Amino acid sequence: MTDHHAAVGPSFYHPTHYDSGWPLRTKLYLLAWRITAATLFRWLPSRWFGGRNAVLRLFGARIHPTAKVYPGCIIYSPARLELAERSTLGTAVHCLCVDDVRLDADVTVSQEAFLCTAGHDVDHPARPLTTAPIRLGRGSWVFARAIILPGVDLGEGAVAAAGAVVAKSVPPFAIVAGNPARVVRERRYRGVAP
């Protein structure tokens, strides 16, 4: 243990209070959304995409009529979510949109993937919230159980392989895999122009 670590007191590891700093209006919005998400949004029939989209729009989401949100999605704040035409959030995707999350046209986010726009400053005793937006470029694909971390821009046509942990932006048409995710090859279109 270095001298620096020895000087850290017990309150560094056990803060007595955490406050998001959000105004009451934001807290009430999130409470209303959580109640709606746990009831109406959750109970809508599996293939009733229009109904789920309407509920999300009611809470401020910007969703194209052709976008699809499958059942079981956990969406933190619809007001920070934007889905372009033919984009899809698969079953049980967790979208922690404390900051903006944008899916461009023809994006697919597969089952149980995690889009995470928030973290905490682990070097500060109060562990304040840190956020950065996520953008998934046109035609990109996030495979099942992949994790996209704050500030990531997944380029046009890029792919995050199943279980990948993507901590930095990905160039167009690259396929990334692993933890941390690394480029394994370029995506090649067979018989179809990109």
pTM given for the model: 0.85
Q: Which residues of 30-56 are buried (b: 16+ CB within 10 A; e: fewer)?
A: beebeebbeeebeebeeeebeebbebb
| Token output for 52 | 């789920």
As averages over each run of 10 residues, the pLDDT of the chain (194 residues) reads: 54 57 87 92 88 95 96 94 97 95 98 94 81 96 97 97 97 96 89 58
36: left (phi over 0), alpha (psi -120 to 50) or beta: alpha
Instruction: Give the pLDDT confidence score for residue 3 in this predicted structure.
Output: 54
Instruction: Give the pLDDT confidence score for residue 122 in this predicted structure.
Output: 82
**Interatomic CA distance for residues 107 and 5, integer angstroms:** 45
- The DSSP element (H or E) to which 52 belongs, if any, is helix 49-58
For 152, the 3-state DSSP assignment is coil
Domains (range + CATH), the chain: 20-185 (2.160.10.10)
123: left (phi over 0), alpha (psi -120 to 50) or beta: alpha
Instruction: Give the pLDDT confidence score for residue 99 in this predicted structure.
Output: 94
Instruction: Give the pLDDT confidence score for residue 18 in this predicted structure.
Output: 57
**Interatomic CA distance for residues 94 and 114, integer angstroms:** 5
Q: What is the pLDDT of residues 70-101, one digit of tens each?
A: 989 999 999 999 999 999 999 999 999 999 99
- 14 among known catalytic residues: no
- Of residues 4, 17, 120, 124, which has the active-site annotation? 120
Q: Are 36 and 51 in contact (CB under 8 A)?
A: no
